[in-house]
Amino acid sequence: MIRPIMDSSFAPYGRIQQLHNAEDALFRPISLSGNGDVPLYRFPYDTSWDFVDGMTVLLIEDQGTQQPFYLDRPITLYAGTCFGFYPLGKCSTILGASQLLTAENQVAKGIPDTVSPPPYNLEIFTLFQQTGHDGLYFRGEQHPPIELVYIQKGVLHNFCQGQDLVLHPTELLLFGPDQWHMQYSDQEVQFLTVSFLWEGYDFSDRYNQVIKTSPEMQRAIQSILQEYSQSLPGREEFLNSQLKLLLLQILRQTKQPEKHRDASPAVRHMHHQIINKALQIVSSQIYGKLTVPSLAAAVNVSTSQLTNLFQAYLGISPAKYITKIRLEESKMLLANRQMSIGEVSSLLGYSSIQHFSKQFHLWYGYTPSAYTKSFQREVVLWPNNAENGI
């Protein structure tokens, strides 16, 4: 299986960072295809990379062994690291210095293209747990595999298809293939994420709904968590079988009633599309002076209509949502300690440090300077996953 970037086994090869200079001419979208071998590269200086869309694997080769990591956040790879990228599925897009990834800079050939699983074969792409000690913000992605999210502690907001799907402990949800989604929490949170494909089974009527887990589902999830924390013979086969059991129980559970029954399915679908597009725009254009009128114009509705849709489906106004995402982005930037408070304030389009600090304090109850002093980096539950082989 593929390891998360947060795994401690990634630390020798690079670090997580924020690509605040993404508009630099060096950083351009790079399209990856799932055809052929994976070229590997090594550079005598640090290089920075980020994901754009699809699911991308960062392949590290170290002393003849290959370690795959799921690229779901900005990173800097240290000088001398031997690495390559390949998509999970037919294609994906990353952000980086495209002029570096040339045949002249290649050092080796990596693994062959991944093979699609046969019908009725469950393939697990990623399985890991995330913990946010002071809340969590994930700016959004979309990818071919289905994604399962199960909350263990705290409250997790999941924005997908124009809805705010709020998960509480012992609840889960499924994101469908290629559905863009983003997540955040305002409190300490802990949750399990699994991405998979299981051809032959249709989960479409379970996508994007909060599912209350039964005792049988919870037992399967606990078995997955316990097995994941150990290194025992047949570990991957056991995880595969327990996930199959969980997914079959989800399929057999009675479907939950839909919200917003006051609107027709066609109208709800249109509303979801408008909101989903607006959320993606906020995520991609958070740096700068994004306003509610400009956001409404970008999705071809009036400011009042956009406000009504956000309130009805997300329970928050567009203005507060933009402020929320801006401030969550600022926390991530400050936590990386690569930029000063003034630089973060300017990057996110605030008129002054004072205005930024006031907004930050109003939202979180403490100042940006207090946050930088007390920040604890997000960690996974099991920091020794490198030994576990996942």
pLDDT at 219: 94
**Is 381 among the domain residues?**
no
Please give the tally of structural domains in the chain: 3
Q: Are residues 163 and 275 in the same domain?
A: no
Q: Are residues 219 and 295 in the same domain?
A: no
Query: What is the domain-level CATH number for residue 349?
Result: 1.10.10.60
**What is the residue type of 152?**
Q
pLDDT at 267: 85
pLDDT at 295: 92
Q: Are residues 239 and 274 in the same domain?
A: no
Q: Are 5 and 75 in contact (CB under 8 A)?
A: yes
**Is 240 among the domain residues?**
yes
Q: Which residue from 177, 141, 147, 163 is spatially nearest to 280, judged by alpha carbons?
A: 141
**Is 87 among the domain residues?**
yes
Q: Are residues 220 and 129 in the same domain?
A: yes
Continuous segment of H or E residues that includes residue 125: strand 122-132
The residues of the chain scoring below 70 in pLDDT are 18-26, 35-36, 108-120, 255-263, 374-390
Q: Which residue from 175, 159, 155 is spatially nearest to 272, judged by alpha carbons?
A: 159
d(CA 99, CA 145): 30
Q: Are residues 192 and 150 in the same domain?
A: yes
**Is 259 among the domain residues?**
no
pLDDT at 384: 39
pLDDT at 262: 57
pLDDT at 200: 78
Strand order in the sheet with 181-185: 136-141, 181-185, 156-160, 163-167
Continuous segment of H or E residues that includes residue 140: strand 136-141
Q: Are residues 242 and 136 in the same domain?
A: yes
Query: What is the domain-level CATH number for residue 176?
Result: 2.60.120.10
Q: Are residues 245 and 198 in the same domain?
A: yes
Instruction: Choose one of 59, 91, 114: the last residue of a domain.
Output: 114
- Can you give the residue range of the structural domain that contains 26? 3-114
Print burial letters for 320-359: b (CB count within 10 Å at least 16), e (below 16): ebbbbbbbbbbbbbbbbeebebeebbbbbbbeebeebbeb
Residues in contact with 371: Cβ distance below 8 Å, sequence separation at least 6, in sequence order = 331, 334, 360, 364
pLDDT at 157: 93
pLDDT at 258: 58
pLDDT at 195: 94
Q: Are residues 38 and 8 in the same domain?
A: yes
d(CA 367, CA 357): 6
**Is 176 among the domain residues?**
yes
Q: Are residues 196 and 309 in the same domain?
A: no
**Is 149 among the domain residues?**
yes
Q: Are residues 242 and 210 in the same domain?
A: yes
**Is 389 among the domain residues?**
no
Q: Are residues 56 and 152 in the same domain?
A: no
**Is 387 among the domain residues?**
no
Structure tokens belonging to residue 85: 């990228």
Structure tokens belonging to residue 264: 């027709």
Query: What is the domain-level CATH number for residue 85?
Result: 2.60.120
Instruction: Choose one of 96, 114, 132: the last residue of a domain.
Output: 114
